[in-house]
Each structure stands twice: as C-alpha cells, then as structure tokens.
Structure 1
C-alpha cells in the first residue's frame, strides 16, 4: 500500500509542479482575497454544507497546495458549490498570488518552532500506519514531504473529519473530492476511525492559523 502511495505521490507532485509555474506575488494577492476573508478571516466561522464544521485555517498553508486545491475546485475535482464559484472567478495568476499571500500570512519573524508532537495512542498509531499518512504529510504532519501536500497539524478536527469523509463520497453532484491517493486511503477506514485520526492530527502543534482581517475589502 505504501509503495503504491509513493508512486501516486510522485505523479501528483509532477502535475502540481506544472500547474504552479506562474510567478507568485504575495503583495498582489493581498488585493485579491475579498471573497476569501468572509470565511477564512473570521475566528470560529462555520460552514453549513454538507454539515456544520469550522472552515479550515489557511494562513501559513503551503502555497503550492493552495494552488492545487483552488485548481481542483475550479475543475470540479473538489465538489463544493461555494468554493467552485469562487475559484472559477480566479485566473491562474490570481490563484498563484492568493496562494503566495496565504502562505506568508501571519508568519512572525523569529517565532519559535512548534512544540514536539505528542505521541499517538496505540489505536491511533495503528490507524496512521495503516493509512501510510506520514508518507506524504511528514512525521509531524506540519512538514509534508513536498509543499504540494497540505500541512494538517493543528487543523480543526471537525473540518479534517468532513474533508476525509469527502474522499469516500462518490456520485454526488455537489459534494466529494476526486483524488486517487486520498480516496484510496480514506476508504480503508470507517467514519469512526476517520474521526479518531482527525482528532489526533488536530491536537498537534503546527503553523496553521486564522488571522482576522482589519477590514473587508
């Protein structure tokens, strides 16, 4: 299973690298986030589709991953009506700039590195091994093996649970995610097991945060 994941990972990295060829301008990105801050710039903001969960923290996320995610929404590979509607308004250059902005957003020069990750329980450790999670997301889930993969340490547990379930969803017109790697991983687990994984990963220290905006633009 892990060998298959690594093979698929290499193919995905190559395709994402090709998508990310546009020069990124974080300063320009700051002028293009009006449709982002109403959800991602408010502490505790919750989405209600397809169920209630906290929207993901994206400040501090890898730019290459944000780029690939927005392109996936744009193409319909990630099915979410609101996110697809937003992504379709963005050019490739807009996406590159927004991604660069959020990667740098909230970073503090000289800030201490995240604390060491707590050890998982025996049950969670078994689930992590079964899924081969560290093969892409890294041992501490905050330094993926390639920036085209997301940092997930410290991400909201309810969001992680909904996201993981979405990779198991097939044949739904408005919800689900088409990703060969994550689909193969998520389908190995029951929803109860996915919730256990999400809870553990959420407990880990990481770079992700929500940074409130001073004003809407």
Structure 2
C-alpha cells in the first residue's frame, strides 16, 4: 500500500509547491492599485497628516517606497505581527491581489522618469552615525539608507523622523495587545539602544535626502 500511496503523495506535494510558488508571484497592477486606495489616501495622501496612536506622529510617507516592502508590511498587519489596530483592520479587508496592486501603485506614485538618485548625504551627527554603525543598520537598509539589500526591507532615508522613532520603539514592545511589532532582527537591534538613542538615530535618518514623498490625491473619488 505504501508503494501505491507514494506517487499520490509526491503529486500532492508537487501541487502544493506549485500553488505556493504561484501565490508568491502575484503581480501588482499600479493602475488597479490607484482604484483601490480609498482607505489609504485619507492618511497617506495628506501632507503633514498626523496620527495620534500610540502617540502623535506623522504617518509614514509611502509613495516611492519599494513594493515588496509594502507587501511585507501589509501582510505583517494581517498576521498580527504588527499590532496597529487601524492598519490591521484595513489590511484584513485586502486580498493578496489588492495588496500587490496597492504596493505597485505606491512604488510608482510620484516617480519622475529620468530623475537622479538622491545625493549622498553630507556628514551629520557623529553620535548618530556611531549609533547606526553599532546597529549595523546599513547592512540591511543599504547605501545612504535608501537602497535596501533585500527588497522586502524599507527605504528609510528622509522618512518622517517622529514616525521612525515610534516605529523603532514598537519593536521593543512586548506582550502588548494593540502596540508593537514582531521581528526578530529589528527587535534584537533596537533593544541594545535607549529611547533617547533611538530618537537620535531617527532624527538623523529623517534628515537624509531620500526618495519617499507624500503625493496628495488630486480629487477624492465619488
């Protein structure tokens, strides 16, 4: 009987593997993403918009962010690895195709054909640079913190510094029902720093030239 079952099991494994590979290759359509961003533009499409949870800070700029990072972040909210209630509620309503389409839209949003890459930052705070070196931050976020070594990692140069500070602290939060982020690499990195040091790092990274921006919605859809 085992000999009879073996080909069936092999076929089932092959089907599951093929399905998994297909699921990972969902292609995003930026034009479709633009039609699905109604729940995004109310925060991410308003220049200077501030959130009040878990403390007051500007919402992150996501136009120009890498699509694979956006997919990774939204899936982390869906899985509960990121515990922001509003973002998890929104992410839970999105299909895998919706996530891919929105990610493609925001990666392309605001891009200017032929635009030069951000200039290399001038020397900044020696203290902040020493802290970033201690955390080996460039090893993931890349040159000038704008060229991630893995596309599922975010560009962070020029991101709102108050948001970066809140995000960094969230990796230190443990056993919280509605606050915190679960990521072994980031958790291990930030826990070696005080909050004052994290703020120093966030302020420096936020001051760097980057590719992220807020692209205001021209008009709200009817």
Q: TM-score, normalised by structure 2?
A: 0.88
Whether the 8 Å CA contact 1:73–1:80 is kept in 2: the answer is yes
Post-superposition offset of 1:156: 0.2
Matched, 1:119 2:126: no
The Cα offsets for residues 165-195 of structure 1, whole Å up to 9 and x where unpaired, read as: 0000001100100000100001010000000
1:185 alignment partner, one of 178, 183, 189: 189
Q: Give TM-score scaled by structure 1 length.
A: 0.90
Aligned pairs for 1:65-214 (under 5 A) are: 65-214=69-218
Equivalences for 1:16-31 in 2 at 5 Å?
Answer: 20-31=24-35
SS of 1:78 mapped into structure 2: coil
Structure 1 contact 19–68 (Cα < 8 Å) conserved:
no
- Deviation of residue 141 (structure 1)? 0.4
Superposed CA offset, 1:10-40 (max 9, x none): xxxxxxx997421111111111100000000
SS at match of 1:140: helix
**Separation in 2, partners of 1:49, 1:200:** 23
Select the structure of larger CA radius of gyration.
2
In the TM superposition, residue 204 of structure 1 has moved relative to its aligned partner by 0.5
1: CA distance, partners of 2:126 / 2:163:
24
In structure 2, runs of 5+ residues without a counterpart are 1-20
Which one of 43, 46, 51 corresponds to residue 55 of structure 2? 51
The count of residues paired between Structure 1 and Structure 2 equals: 201
Question: Does structure 2 retain, via aligned residues, the 8 Å contact 1:20–1:96?
Answer: no
1:33-44 to 2 correspondence within 5 Å?
33-44=37-48
Distance 2:23 2:112 in 1: 29
After superposition, the CA RMSD in angstroms is 1.3
Match of 2:18 in 1: none
Contact 1:29 1:94 in 2 (8 A): yes
Q: How far off its partner does 1:112 sit?
A: 2.5
CA distance in 1, matches of 2:22, 2:214: 29
Distance 1:49 1:80 in 2: 8
Q: Which residue of 2 aligns with 1:7?
A: none
Q: Which runs of 5+ in 1 are unaligned?
A: 1-16
